[in-house]
Amino acid sequence: MSVSDPLVSAARAAREHAVADFSRFRVGAALETAGGAIVTGCNVENATYGLTICAERVAMFKALSEGHRSFRRVAVVADTEAPTPPCGACRQILWEFAGDIEVILANLDRVTARLALAALLPHPFDSRLLGK
């Protein structure tokens, strides 16, 4: 296993807490705040799937509920060879609350990609479009 930074390690550890009884697709995420704190999340499924929440949104909502408002980067870990990027809903939430942060995609052994959120969400909907 390659050495990774603490953010990726935290996402890997968070993945272990995933509740993925239906898909068996466990995902962990970790957000780094501007102050250097790391806030984690894991995916939580239920039988309807429609009420399932992804690891990235769990981490963001947890961070916001704890008072964090500024973020540097996010790491997402899944047990896949190819990079597993955040879904569309997670991209939107990350954009609205964190802006164009670095997104680190990793599997259980290594980092598979590093990119800016704008590369994943090139035409975001945000408050600029609301005339605010």
Q: Is residue 83 packed enough to be buried (19+ CB in 10 Å), middle (13-18) or exposed (0-12)?
A: middle
Query: Which residue of the set 32, 45, 56, 81 is catalytic?
Result: 56
Kindly report the CATH class assigned to 6-126: alpha beta
Chain mean position to CA 47: 22
Tell me whether residue 56 is one of the annotated catalytic residues: yes
Listed by start position, the domains of the chain span 6-126
Name which residue leads in pLDDT, 130 or 91.
91
Query: How does pLDDT run across 64-98, given as a tens digit for each residue?
Result: 999 999 999 999 999 999 999 999 999 999 999 99
pTM for the model stands at 0.94
Question: pLDDT at position 132, please?
Answer: 60
Question: pLDDT at position 131, please?
Answer: 80
